[in-house]
Structure 1
């Protein structure tokens, strides 16, 4: 669409104003979507983990990915691999739920590898358990190729 006006946010950056469903897929203009996750929010690690878990529990892994992405982009540079790996896990679950097994498997495994290699603080998260969850889910999705229920398959970030 050459020459078409693009949606812009309040700061003039290109940003689609189309509503989105719970898995982050764009809907038609005027459709009723779910509230968008605000971007660029600076949260501490505990708040990031709590907010992401709440979204995962609600079946909104795409939105949890955005919370992790905020931590990755606004937090200390040395912690970026942890938050990026967690964002990859959330978006891997998103792809698996959307019925994109190739993308789901790839991102779940990539995120698991990053998280498995993290040697810094865990902020109370069960990182070994998240790695197992991601690898097991990737194997399942690769085997059967069917979409997964994002609420039923949401990981627990912290031990029970």
Structure 2
């Protein structure tokens, strides 16, 4: 038997604790509680939970919420949720200091959501502008604090 961590179903799943940006920490350290995987939420609930995590400086965890919506929702909505997940993971990489990956994912996510209007009140045009501006700053070497840079998903 391998020494890999496994979940209750026997699938490989790293059990190491994670910090607020999703980085693995040593076993035994106190980490941030993980988002449960595979949760099916109503769109408004997805937006609320992701915004809470973004505001807390936890974009990696917000990415997991968006990923659940992308994988469990209607196929027609996949570009929205996938693009939002890419924005969140782009912010994650930027805050970790990975300028190349952060800028790339922010731009990719912006491209996914640009022109989608305002589904569920989400300001996709504003988010695309935010992501483009942040990607430029990240590429220029700005240090990013995830909580301070957290976008507003909906106006107000």
Q: Aligning the two structures, in what range does the TM-score lie when normalised by the shorter sequence?
A: over 0.9
Are 1:153 and 2:143 counterparts? no
* Contact map agreement 2:20 2:58 (CA 8 A) in 1: yes
Counterpart CA distance in 1 for 2:143 and 2:31 is 21
The corresponding residue for 1:62 is 60
Please report the TM-score for the alignment, with normalisation by the length of structure 2: 0.96
Matches within 5 A, 1:73-112: 73-112=71-110
Instruction: Show the counterpart of 2:126.
Output: 129
Q: Is the 8 A contact 1:99 1:146 kept in 2?
A: no
| Deviant stretches of 4+, over 4 Å | none
Cα distance change of structure 1 residues 31 and 136 upon mapping to structure 2, 3 Å threshold? same
* Matched residues, number: 156
CA RMSD of aligned residues (A): 1.2
CA displacement at 1:78 relative to structure 2: 1.2
- Separation (CA, whole Å) in 2 of partners of 1:93 and 1:59: 10
Structure 2: where are the runs of 5+ without partners?
Answer: none
- TM-score, structure 1 length as denominator? 0.94
For 1:82 and 1:158, how far apart are their aligned partners in 2? 14
Unaligned runs of 5+ in 1: none
